[in-house]
């Protein structure tokens, strides 16, 4: 029997947070970026494995979110050097 979980995140820079986490996705994880957020699906045969995967994901998501917020603040301070993540 497989146990399943889903984590949905949303916010201004959700796509950036989700994209930075995707390279760490294991075979039992799948992330889908949507217009208003991102959803990561988890599957495991054991509850402990599922909890460990979700816990690791949430800790990494918090770090990614913190980094996005720091970059946003630094971008605002530099006035135009980094303009709200518009690197073009």
Identify the pLDDT of residue 83: 46
Asked, for residue 86, whether it belongs to a domain, the answer is no
Identify the pLDDT of residue 12: 80
51: helix, coil or strand? Answer: helix
Average pLDDT, consecutive stretches of 10 residues, N- to C-terminus, the chain (88 residues): 93 86 91 90 96 94 88 60 43
The two three-digit tokens of residue 82, written as one number: 């980094």
Asked, for residue 84, whether it belongs to a domain, the answer is no
Q: Which of 72, 79, 82 shows the shortest CA–CA distance to 12? A: 72
Asked, for residue 67, whether it belongs to a domain, the answer is yes
Asked, for residue 33, whether it belongs to a domain, the answer is yes
Q: What is the DSSP letter of 36?
A: T
Q: Answer for the pair 58, 50: CB distance below 8 angstroms, yes or no.
A: no
Identify the pLDDT of residue 69: 82
Q: What is the CATH number of the domain that holds 34?
A: 3.30.310.50
Count of structural domains, the chain: 1
Asked, for residue 87, whether it belongs to a domain, the answer is no
Asked, for residue 88, whether it belongs to a domain, the answer is no
For the entire predicted model, the pTM comes to 0.76
Domain that holds residue 13: 3-78
Identify the pLDDT of residue 38: 92
């Amino acid at each position: 029997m497989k146990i399943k979980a889903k984590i949905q995140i949303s916010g201004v820079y959700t796509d950036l947070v989700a994209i930075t986490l995707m390279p760490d996705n294991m075979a039992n994880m799948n992330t889908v970026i949507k217009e208003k957020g991102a959803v990561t699906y988890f599957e495991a045969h054991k509850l402990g494995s599922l909890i460990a995967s979700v816990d690791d994901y949430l800790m990494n998501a918090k770090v990614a979110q913190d980094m996005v917020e720091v970059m946003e603040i630094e971008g605002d301070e530099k006035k135009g050097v980094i303009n709200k993540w518009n690197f073009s």
